[in-house]
């Protein structure tokens, strides 16, 4: 009986130890959920691969979409660790609501707007495209910063009123790219970084940079994150030399006020 009791105790100890080991393993894993602007998709896939080669215990799960839509999800309590937005306003709104840790909010990228058209298009410029009443796609304002910037530019250039009749709205900037690739529209306003990832479109012209606010990509660690340290570490990595080189390859620029 004594040996049976000892065996039971040892067995129980092994089970508890095994359970604790699994719990510690789970706690030590660095699984991050990152909500990121749609325009970051291609560059982030390459950066994630580079980061994982240096941090093999990390796992990066991405949710790409319009920054405005992602902001609303985080505000409603979506389980996110890090927010990478294509605007400062979306991050600032979450800081104000205490959904983003204020001292982690930081600019990490810049970009510019361009007019794109299907590869074989004869579109000359933005003004003529609108005057000829051709279809122009932009991201939906408020849902995606690219749409806000595009609307601001068209308004400043006195083209907004004439453009509205033939405007087509994409859910985000990548949807706009797809619409142009599929020739569903004659032109689209996207970020320079989006234009560079497709061989089905061409850049017709850069949108006058004085016609819209500086495009600043902002980031911040979500207050409710259970992986704050790991999230901060990845955010720091995004601002480092290796990640910035990758971003530059994809058409992004350094953030400039």
Positions at the binding site for molybdate: 39, 67, 146, 173, 191
Tokens (6 digits) for 250: 């994809």
Q: Which residues are annotated as a binding site?
A: 39, 67, 146, 173, 191
Asked if 44 contacts 36 with a C-beta cutoff of 8 angstroms, the reply is yes
CA distance linking residue 85 with residue 92, whole number of Å:
10
Structure tokens at 211: 């016609």
Within its chain, how far is the Cα of 216 from the centroid? 12
Total residues belonging to the chain? 257
Q: Is 53 helix (H, G, I), strand (E, B) or coil?
A: helix
Q: What is the DSSP letter of 211?
A: G
- Please name which of 119, 126, 217, 216 lies closest in space to residue 177, comparing C-alpha atoms: 119
Q: What are phi and psi of 198, to 5 degrees?
A: -120, 135
Strands (E), the chain: 30-37, 58-65, 82-85, 106-111, 113-118, 136-139, 167-170, 187-191, 201-206, 215-221
Query: Among 99, 85, 98, 67, which Cα is nearest to 219's?
Result: 85
């Amino acid at each position: 009986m004594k040996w049976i009791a000892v065996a039971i105790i040892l067995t129980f100890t092994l089970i508890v130890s095994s359970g604790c080991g699994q719990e510690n393993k789970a706690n030590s894993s660095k699984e991050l959920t990152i909500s990121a602007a749609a325009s970051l998709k291609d560059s982030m896939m390459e950066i994630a691969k580079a980061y994982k080669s240096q941090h093999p215990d990390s796992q990066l799960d991405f949710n790409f979409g319009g920054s405005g839509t992602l902001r609303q999800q985080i505000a409603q309590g979506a389980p996110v660790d890090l927010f990478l937005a294509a605007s400062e306003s979306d991050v600032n709104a979450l800081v104000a609501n205490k959904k983003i840790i204020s001292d982690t909010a930081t600019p990490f990228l810049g970009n510019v707007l361009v007019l794109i058209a299907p590869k074989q298009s004869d579109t000359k410029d933005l003004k003529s495209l609108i005057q000829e009443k051709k279809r122009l796609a932009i991201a939906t304002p408020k849902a995606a910063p690219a749409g806000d910037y595009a609307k601001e530019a068209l308004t400043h250039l006195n083209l907004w009123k004439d453009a509205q009749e033939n405007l087509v709205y994409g859910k985000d900037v990548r949807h706009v790219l797809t619409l142009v690739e599929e020739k569903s529209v004659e032109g689209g306003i996207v970020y320079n970084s989006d234009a560079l990832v497709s061989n089905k479109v061409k850049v017709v012209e850069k949108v006058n940079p004085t016609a819209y606010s500086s495009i600043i990509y902002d980031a911040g660690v979500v207050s409710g994150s259970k992986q704050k340290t790991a999230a901060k570490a990845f955010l720091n990595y995004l601002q480092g030399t290796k990640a910035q080189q990758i971003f530059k390859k994809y058409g992004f620029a350094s953030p400039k006020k």
